[in-house]
Structure 1
Amino acid sequence: MLIIPLAAMPSQKVSVLLAGQNCQINVYQKTTGLYLDLAINNAPIKSGMLCLDRILLIRHPYLGFIGDLAFFDMQGTSDPTYEGLGSRYRFTYIEASDL
């Protein structure tokens, strides 16, 4: 697993290389929860994913993403909110071999 650093901000974009994939990740808070969009080489893979504690976000290999992404609450089992990003809530990349 690899921790992807995020800041405690309500909206942010991160570019990161994961398993040779040039990923663009957009994380944003809405009144209904924390959401995530994923693109590889600026081509959308999945958008508007509700981020929940310890739940894989991609889940479908046919989408073409190698591995998966998930949030982990380090102080319990609450779903992530932007205020705890980078501290309480860890955003992780899980390699395909670990799934």
Structure 2
Amino acid sequence: MADLVTIPLNAVASQTIQVPLSGYSVQLDIRQRSTGLFMDIYLDNTLMLAGVLCQNCTWIVRETYHGFPGDMAFVDTQGSEDPQYSGLNDRWVLYYLEGAP
């Protein structure tokens, strides 16, 4: 069974993080805009997805044809609202699941 991994984030409006996932180098560019929190995903320096709206308990990659080895989702630990930068890593936690969906 695949493990659920917590991806640590900072509570800032714009951030880029590098994280090893499933043996790959993954870069996440996360930006807060007036219309929500958005993410770009790079796999080994190749842009896989751009401008994905992050919503509560909703897979971000969603399709295996993108070539990403798993999927990620934000989870609201205090309710059911979509993520906002000010509560990242506290109220909204980003999880990675290898092999999903």
Q: TM-score, normalization: structure 1?
A: 0.96
User: How far apart in 2 are the matches of 1:14 and 1:82?
Assistant: 14
The separation in 2 between residues aligned to 1:69 and 1:37, in whole angstroms, is: 12
Counterpart for residue 77 of structure 2:
74
2:98 maps to a residue whose letter is: E
Code of the residue aligned with 1:30 in structure 2: it is: R
Tell me how far apart the structure 2 counterparts of residues 78 and 10 of structure 1 sit (CA, whole Å).
17
1:59 partner SS: coil
Name the amino acid aligned to 1:27: I
**Other-structure match for 1:64:** 67
Deviation at 1:86, TM superposition (A): 1.1
Unaligned runs of at least 5 residues, structure 2 = none
**CA separation in 1, counterparts of 2:63 and 2:24?**
16
CA distance in 2, matches of 1:51, 1:79: 7
Which of 44, 49, 54 lines up with 1:51 in the alignment?
54
2:22 matched to which residue of 1?
19
2:35 maps to 1:32: yes
Q: Give the total of aligned pairs.
A: 98
Q: Show CA shifts across 1:68-95 (max 9, x none).
A: 0100000000000000001000011012
Deviations 1:29-49 (A, max 9, x none): 000000000001111000000
Aligned CA-pair RMSD: 0.9
- Tell me the amino acid that sits aligned with residue 16 of structure 2: K
In structure 1, the residue corresponding to 2:65 is in which secondary structure? helix
Amino acid aligned to 1:81: Q
